[in-house]
């Protein structure tokens, strides 16, 4: 990829399929994620979201199909993908025994941020998160909401083209969820593409486009407003219900 | 009869930190009530559950469950309650069926005797009976955990965030199950981060800093909202959020699905000042002057989530 001539899509996959024995977890999915958008990846538990995400993040190879993430091939360059994306899950653990600053330092190093830039990046992150006064606090002593913001910031400390957020707000109260989404908006404002899964349907409304996965397939993909129009629904939650009702793979 | 009485219960884990639970009044939960607890992380919800489930002792204060003292009568209480912790706590290496058998045998019950209680939930797990519990997906784990906490037919059920990580359809099913259990007379205490779920409870407690700030029926909480609420949308939602917050007559603005919700200052009277028919029309005009397109402004009724967002501010 030539610098300054970045592709319009950060993810593009065609006919992506993953089988485990005779079970097809991901069944021939094709889609693109546009640069700079918030892409909501929705589906019921067991629909195949996690398996699909593992392929998109270089953790698992597809059985068939092809695709690229951040310009790298998911079949032949999974290690490159891991280096060029950000990833955060609800279970994503910062090191509780390390301080805020040390966690940032560690992950910046792991992600290969140039040594001379690490200090200034950490400072600007601490500043933005309003955590300067807590930089020497151990992470485990921070309130959950701060940990979550910190985990997100650390996941984009190397300024990846795209960050994958796997249920980042599970079990989080309504006020803290909104604060977290404002961080997402800010990251998007700075040009990072966001790929997010959530079970909160109000959060689905914040996405530019969403896909709905049912039984390993992508059954619908469009902006929230277009999906609501297409299904004659007043909310994304209703669209989800309509599509999930047709699922054969019951939970 | 009261199923649960909580009186000035207090629990602290560390001298330097404020107590995790610091209830300063008496709360009673009548038999058969579906009682919801909502609140931010660290509010003390799990600590309260663990005390009521007799897993930890309070530093001071008392509580009773089914007329039994949580410290003195802990053994008896344990046979009468079901407790589903927020963290998955079944045996991952045992199968679905083996987990259920284990929990039934611990209480000296057999599955068949109480099967009717879990039938509607367990029927979805039947096809996977031989699968190891650790290999179930999130929604199915929760269903199994619920079955295991019900198999001894408890009088009181404690559920600590049972729907975290569960998809919307499974959430609805779980709440239908809870509704059925309630009709059998079971007392259910449930914490949740979902306000639509809180809205299905008989009463809801908003918990913060170890205390219940408000305990009331969802309808009464909503009717006590007491502020003017508008919903606003434009084609640039992130910029809109900041623009709305910068307006002097806006007390608070937050995202709310596909609209932003705006709480106006009590004394704001835009329509009179600017000569518009309504506050909504005045705000739409201000936003259009700031270059927003696709502007929609309308009056809306508050929901439980709005009440929660407003409570946080106080």
CB contact under 8 A, B308 and A171: no
> What gap in Å lies between CA A52 and CA A58, rounded to an integer?
10
Per-10-residue mean pLDDT of chain A, 251 residues long, equals 67 97 95 97 90 95 96 96 90 85 93 92 89 90 84 93 92 89 92 95 95 95 96 93 77 48
Question: How confident is the model at residue B273, as a pLDDT?
Answer: 65
Residue B244 above 70 pLDDT? yes
Cα dihedral B125, B129, B134, B140, rounded to 10, equals 0
Is the CB of A189 inside 8 Å of chain B's CB atoms? Answer: yes
DSSP A195: E
CB contact under 8 A, A176 and B41: yes
Q: Chain B closest CA to A145's CA: distance in Å?
A: 7
Would the CB atoms of A171 and B255 count as touching at under 8 Å? no
Q: How far apart are CA B143 and CA B88, in angstroms?
A: 11
Mean pLDDT, rounded, of chain A: 91
Does residue B85 have a pLDDT over 70?
yes
Query: E strand or H helix at A181, and its extent?
Result: helix A174-189
In chain B, what residues touch A224 (CB-CB under 8 Å)?
258
- Which pTM value belongs to this model? 0.88
Q: What is the pLDDT of residue B101?
A: 95
The DSSP bridge partners found for residue A165 are A88, A196
Enumerate the β-bridge partners of residue B145: none
Q: List strands edge to edge, sheet with A85-89.
A: A85-89, A162-166, A193-197, A38-43, A209-214, A217-222
**β-pair partners for A12:** A32, A68
Quote the mean pLDDT of chain B.
Answer: 92
How does A196-207 read in b/e, with b if 16+ C-beta sit within 10 Å? Answer: bbbbbbbbbbbb
Please give the full DSSP string across chain B, using - where no structure is assigned.
Answer: -EEEEEEEEEE-S-TTS--SEE--SEEEEETT-EEEEE--TTSSHHHHHHHHTTSS--SEEEEEETTEETTTTHHHHHHHEEEE-SS--S-TTSBHHHHHHHHHHHTT--TGGGHHHHHHHHTTTGGGTTSBGGGS-HHHHHHHHHHHHHTT--SEEEEESTTTT--HHHHHHHHHHHHHHHHTT-EEEEE-S-HHHHTTSSEEEEEETTEEEEEE-HHHHHHT--SEEEEEE-S-HHHHHHHHHTSTTEEEEEEETTEEEEEE-TT--HHHHHT-SSHHHHHHHHHHHTT--S-EEEE----HHHHHHHHHH-
Residues of B contacting chain A (CB within 8 angstroms) = 38-42, 86, 124, 137-140, 143, 161, 164-171, 193-195, 237-238, 241, 254-258, 305, 308-309, 312
Pairing outcome for strands A38-43 and A209-214? parallel
From the number of C-beta atoms within 10 Å of its C-beta (0-12, 13-18, 19+), residue A115 rates as exposed
* Minimum-distance CB partner of A175 among B167, B238, B309: B309
Confidence of residue B312 (pLDDT cuts 50, 70, 90): low
Query: Contact A231/A239 with Cβ under 8 angstroms?
Result: yes
A chain contacts of residue B195, beta-carbon cutoff 8 Å = 174
**Domain map (residue ranges) of chain A:** 4-92+162-244
d(CA B139, CA B292): 42
- Give pLDDT, residue A3: 47
For domain A4-92+162-244, is the CATH number 1.10.10.10? Answer: no
Report the pLDDT value the prediction gives residue A27, as an integer from 0 to 100: 96
Decide if A241 touches B, using CB distance below 8 A.
yes
Q: Pick B41's closest partner by Cβ from A143, A182, A205.
A: A143
User: Mean pLDDT across the stretch B166-193?
Assistant: 92
Rg for chain A, CA atoms, rounded = 18
Residue A141 forms contact with B (CB below 8 Å): no
A78: part of which helix (H) or strand (E)?
helix A78-84
Q: What is the least distance, in Å, from the CA of B208 to any CA of chain A? A: 11
Residues of B with CB below 8 A from A189's CB?
238
CA distance A138 to chain B (A): 15
Find, in chain B, the residue whose alpha carbon is nearest to that of A148. B41
Q: Which residues on chain B are in Cβ contact (under 8 Å) with A251? A: 124, 137, 139-140, 143, 167, 169-170
Nearest Cα to A19, choosing from A56, A60, A62? A62
All domains of chain B in start order, with CATH: 2-223 (3.40.50.300), 229-312 (3.30.70)
Residues 6+ apart with CB under 8 A from B289: none
Report residue B79 CA to chain centroid gap: 25
Interface test with B, best of A36, A37, A45, A235 (most B CBs within 10 A): A45
Q: Which residue in B has a C-alpha nearest to residue A184's C-alpha?
A: B238
Query: Is A56:A13 a contact under the CB 8 Å cutoff?
Result: yes
Q: B210 to each of A248, B22, B40, B205, how far by Cα in Å?
A: 44, 5, 10, 12
DSSP assignment, residue A178?
H
Rg of chain B on CA atoms, in Å: 23
Q: What is the pLDDT of residues B249-282, one digit of tens each?
A: 999 999 999 999 999 988 777 766 666 778 889 9
Using CA atoms, how far apart are residues B271 and B281, in angstroms rounded to an integer?
Answer: 8
pLDDT digits (tens, 9 = 90+) for A118-143: 999 999 889 888 888 899 999 988 87
3-state helix, strand, coil split of chain A in percent (to 5) is 40, 25, 35
Is A245's Cβ below 8 Å from some Cβ in B?
A: yes
Q: Cα–Cα distance between B5 and B106 in angstroms, integer? A: 27
What does the pLDDT read at residue A92?
65
Pick left, alpha or beta for residue B256 (phi over 0 → left; psi -120 to 50 → alpha; otherwise beta): beta
Chains A and B form CB pairs within 8 A to the count of: 101
CB B55 within 8 A of CB B11: no
Q: What is the ipTM of this complex?
A: 0.83
DSSP string covering B122-165 = HTTTGGGTTSBGGGS-HHHHHHHHHHHHHTT--SEEEEESTTTT
Predicted pLDDT of residue B314: 46
The nearest alpha carbon in chain A to B260 belongs to: A206
The shortest C-alpha distance from A187 to chain B (Å) reads 12
**Phi, psi (deg, nearest 5) at residue A119:** -55, -45
Work out the average pLDDT over B201-223.
Answer: 94
Chain B residue with CA closest to A146: the answer is B41
Check if the beta carbon of residue B37 is closer than 8 Å to that of residue B190.
yes
The DSSP H or E segment spanning A44 is: none
């Amino acid at each position: 990829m030539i610098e300054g001539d970045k592709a319009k899509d950060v993810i593009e996959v065609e006919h992506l399929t993953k089988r485990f024995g005779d079970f097809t977890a991901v069944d021939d999915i094709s889609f693109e994620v546009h640069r700079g958008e918030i892409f909501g990846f929705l589906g019921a538990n067991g629909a195949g979201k996690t398996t699909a995400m593992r392929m998109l993040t270089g953790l698992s190879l597809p059985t068939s199909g092809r695709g690229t993430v951040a310009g790298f091939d998911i079949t032949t360059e999974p290690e490159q993908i891991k280096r060029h994306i950000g990833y955060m899950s609800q279970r994503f653990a910062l090191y509780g025994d390390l301080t805020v600053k040390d966690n940032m330092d560690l992950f910046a190093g792991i992600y290969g941020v140039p040594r001379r830039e690490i200090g200034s990046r950490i400072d600007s992150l601490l500043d933005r998160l309003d955590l300067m006064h807590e930089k020497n606090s151990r992470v485990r002593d921070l309130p959950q909401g701060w940990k979550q913001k910190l985990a997100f910031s650390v996941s984009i400390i190397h300024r990846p083209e795209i960050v994958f957020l796997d249920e980042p707000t599970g079990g989080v109260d309504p006020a803290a969820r909104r604060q977290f989404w404002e961080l997402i908006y800010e990251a998007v404002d700075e040009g990072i593409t966001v790929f997010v899964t959530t079970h909160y349907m109000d959060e689905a409304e914040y996405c530019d486009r969403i896909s709905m996965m049912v039984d390993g397939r992508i059954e619908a993909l469009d902006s929230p407003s277009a999906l609501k129009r297409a299904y004659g629904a007043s909310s994304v939650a209703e669209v989800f219900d309509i599509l999930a009702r047709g699922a054969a793979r019951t939970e | 009869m009261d199923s649960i009485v909580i009186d000035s219960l207090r629990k602290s884990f560390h001298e330097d930190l404020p107590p995790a639970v610091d209830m300063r009044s008496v709360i009673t939960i009548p038999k058969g009530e579906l009682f919801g607890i909502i609140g931010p992380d660290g509010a003390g919800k799990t600590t309260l559950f663990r005390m009521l489930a007799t897993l930890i002792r309070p530093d001071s204060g008392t509580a009773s469950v089914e007329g039994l003292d949580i410290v003195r009568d802990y053994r008896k209480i344990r046979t009468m309650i079901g407790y589903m912790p927020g963290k998955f706590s079944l045996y991952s290496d045992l199968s679905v069926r083996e987990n259920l058998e284990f929990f039934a045998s611990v209480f000296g019950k057999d599955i068949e005797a109480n099967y009717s209680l879990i039938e509607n939930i367990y029927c979805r797990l039947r096809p996977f009976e031989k699968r190891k519990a650790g290999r179930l997906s999130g929604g199915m784990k929760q269903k199994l955990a619920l079955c295991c906490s019900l198999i001894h037919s408890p009088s009181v059920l404690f559920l600590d965030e049972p729907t975290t990580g569960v998809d919307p359809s499974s959430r609805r099913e779980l709440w239908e199950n809870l509704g059925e259990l309630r009709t059998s007379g079971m007392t259910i205490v449930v914490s949740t981060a979902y306000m639509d779920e809180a809205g299905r409870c008989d009463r809801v407690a908003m918990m913060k800093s170890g205390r219940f700030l408000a305990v009331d029926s969802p309808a009464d909480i909503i009717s006590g909202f007491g502020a003017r609420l508008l919903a606003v949308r434009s084609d640039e939602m992130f910029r809109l959020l900041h623009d709305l917050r910068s307006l002097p007559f806006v007390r608070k603005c937050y995202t709310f699905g596909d609209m932003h919700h705006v709480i106006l200052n009590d004394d704001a009277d835009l329509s009179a000042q600017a000569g518009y028919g309504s506050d909504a029309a005045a705000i739409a005009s201000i936003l259009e002057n700031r270059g927003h397109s696709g502007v929609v402004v309308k009056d809306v009724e508050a929901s439980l989530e709005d009440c929660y967002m407003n409570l946080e501010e106080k």
